[in-house]
Structure 1
Amino acid sequence: MRPLRHLGRDEQGAAIIELALCAPILAALVMGASDLGLAYSRKLALEQGAQRAVEKVMQTTQLATVQTTIADEVALQAGVNASQVTVTFPKYCDGRRLPDKGRDADGFAIGSCEAGEKASHYIQVDVHEEYDPLFPTIPIGVKLANGNYLVTASAGMRTK
């Protein structure tokens, strides 16, 4: 009976038990932080590629359309396929976006503003990519059917 009472008061090894309980939680936090950091880094790279492409819109050559030039530039800068890039030319009337009913000769949305409204034209670049996480059990955004996550980025510029 005496050894059992001695064992009940023994505190050796308590730190090991506490570590065994806390280590999985700490490991999950570190893994989640690293996956979030990598996904955010990829999003920033996509945004930077889109922004650089919008900045180069004035350097469009006669060999391609504005949309093709921007999509190719985003693909080059962000390391994605041009098919993952969408270039649109929305038109706004006093902050209200006009519905997309087609394009005029310059590529901008067709439609007119009401009397007294000021029209503004934009170039909008949207990029999307699938991100394959290091630790797929940690949710970091919109999960796709194949287990990857969708990373999107946008950039825009007012043209007139």
Structure 2
Amino acid sequence: MMRPLRQLHRDERGVAIVELAIAAPILACLLMGAADIGNAFSRKLALEQGAQRAVEKVMQTTELANVQDTIAGEVAIQADVDESQVTVTFPRYCDRRLMPDVTRDDETGLAEGEPCAATETEGHYILVVVTDQYTPFFPALSMGTKLANGNYMVQAKAGMRTK
């Protein structure tokens, strides 16, 4: 009885199958994680491209709507999001210092406020921030901090200097 057990202990047939059985779940998890991360990044790029196209469009024309509505509407079309997920701001900087707005033209979005010092360069910008939620294909795998509904927050920004 002991002799067959010793022979079985020394037998190397089937070792590759056992090793594959141990490694296969690990490799599958890596592949699923890579697929989810790739799809989430693809969604982020779609949001970013939508925001960039909207900024480009508003620089060409605003037609009948104001700047904020034009950008939000264009991002909603391009990135397949709701307009409420788009935030448009018009920051004003003196060199690298963010300046508070005193008044703002509703039509153009340009702000006037405290003037910059003579040695500082003033810059007006359009900043578009788009937020969306990404639903993973494999929710059991964790890629970071999840929202309460199990989705992940995806955010993209695009901006342009206007003056």
The count of residues paired between Structure 1 and Structure 2 equals: 158
**In structure 1, the residue corresponding to 2:147 is in which secondary structure?**
coil
Counterpart in 2 of 1:70? Answer: 71
User: 5+ residue gaps in structure 1?
Assistant: none
Contact 1:90/1:121, CA 8 A, preserved across alignment = yes
What's the offset of the Cα at 1:2? Answer: 1.2
Question: What are the equivalent positions in structure 2 for 1:53-132 lying under 5 Å apart?
Answer: 53-57=54-58, 58-61=60-63, 63-99=64-100, 101=101, 103-105=103-105, 106-116=108-118, 117-132=120-135
Cα deviation digits, residues 4-62 of structure 1 (max 9, x gap): 1111111111111100110011000000000000000000000000000000113101x
Cα deviation digits, residues 63-115 of structure 1 (max 9, x gap): 2111000100000000111111011100000121124x454114234432342
Q: Cα RMSD over matched residues?
A: 1.4
Counterpart in 2 of 1:148? Answer: 151
Question: Structure 1 residues 124 and 103, CA, compared in 2 at 3 Å: closer, same or farther?
Answer: farther
For the residues of structure 2 that align with 1:23 and 1:36, how far apart are their CA atoms? 20
Runs of 4+ in 1 over 6 A off after TM superposition: none
For the residues of structure 2 that align with 1:111 and 1:91, how far apart are their CA atoms? 9
Q: In the alignment, residue 13 of structure 1 is paired with which amino acid? A: G
Contact 1:50/1:154, CA 8 A, preserved across alignment = yes
For the residues of structure 2 that align with 1:139 and 1:113, how far apart are their CA atoms? 48
Counterpart in 1 of 2:15? Answer: 14
Question: Structure 1 residues 120 and 144, CA, compared in 2 at 3 Å: closer, same or farther?
Answer: same
Is the counterpart of residue 3 in structure 1 residue 4 in structure 2? yes
Contact 1:98/1:109, CA 8 A, preserved across alignment = no
**In structure 2, the residue corresponding to 1:144 is in which secondary structure?**
coil
Identity over aligned residues, as a percent? 64
User: 5+ residue gaps in structure 2?
Assistant: none
Counterpart in 1 of 2:28? Answer: 27
Cα deviation digits, residues 125-145 of structure 1 (max 9, x gap): 000000000011223344211
